Structure 1
């Protein structure tokens, strides 16, 4: 298999976001993704929905690559949107929450402390996850078929799949930490820890230049107002009765919902969910108790759950 040129794909996706448009019956063009970028830049919209049907009409090869390796292209698109957003800002953006005020204050302080001949962007000091106040979701192609939960296997890891089933359990929507911000009690320096999994080990010792040179060993304290949280919900999906072979037990699949795709289903709903099938490494005591080294889950990417009426 030939190696994929991701830089070329990145340029194609940038062109797609800026130039893709649709025409109505009167010939009026609508740049749907440029309009979404403008709303996100002005904090009028949080989530950006990208339809694979639109990408297919732009490039079949690119749409197939996104379907086969969705997680990689989510990261690529996040970088593209992060670079494009400053060009769409036409007016000052009012602060929406405490994190906005925190980020604006820190950027202002970084610009004041910067040397006159220094051209480094102040945003480079902060992790990108802290500054990105948007979410990216893919909508599956209208031509793709639903995959039964029983048939979702190893070959689907990392791919965008659509499964249907019955919701048998929903947890409450809880805050999930994306970036943990710490402050040192000795030097006052701030430390940022991006969190990529469901659990993490908080940092305790300051690693700033001042503490290392002075060997003061400052302690880190978590700053809740400076940390970033997203909405998180766990759903358990069980396969339909018509998908279960005679004499077999119905199988189920865990679905993790983040951000704007939460609160879209209730126990008992018959739904079709589009998402990325991913492995989840067990941590702590669960890893020592034997069994498989990793579990699997579906990271929901649907704009909304398509609730189907029961037959």
Structure 2
């Protein structure tokens, strides 16, 4: 069994800030919450080396240069860039010896954090160039101020700010590509094609041939762009169409299954239950007025 391990050189200036929070039980089960937050203006030799810490870390470079080693790769950290990592994994970060690193950071956690982190990882890099760096830096500054002195509103306000910060990280990592980008236009075309032809038998090979690109490249770029594999996107669209038909028509489940491109009704029922937690008939019944 692996245990928490940390080595560090706490070389930072006197005006640096490090605040530790003790979240309530309610915050732990209901909110995103701060465990520690701070601002460091580093001195030569600053580093942190750790693993097996049950926490997530977001850090934004304000100036200077830092270096992050994470999952076997080293990343150079520059102004207006952030990293978002799971501290259970080994990490090492340090300042440049000459261009001293200045950064603002938060250790956070929460019941829904794994879902956000999973989506963030689609970017394949823990380091991102923030699309709205001033907004993200302001969010971290607000968190520091909120935790200087606890009030009854500190935890819900912190959760709101953390939600905004996490959303900014996801958007910066996986948001729309620049206008005119070929990959973005192609993936948008694939999405529209799947929506128009959702009731037909479609495969990755078919899509790759239709769009004249490698199926491996298509699968990788589509997931990066849409957040889902092409087949999962197709299933999601079919389930959404089926929900509408179940809610607003009296068509038999077998007919709806045929209409969404899943002629095997047993397979359709299993897919529907996996995605919604209920069967098609139970879903329909939940929307019918009581007799």
TM category (shorter chain) comes to under 0.3
Higher helix share: 2
Greater relative contact order structure (CA < 8 Å, 6+ sep): 1
Higher strand share: 1
Structure 1 length as normaliser, TM-score?
A: 0.25
Computing the radius of gyration from Cα coordinates, the structure with the larger value is: 2
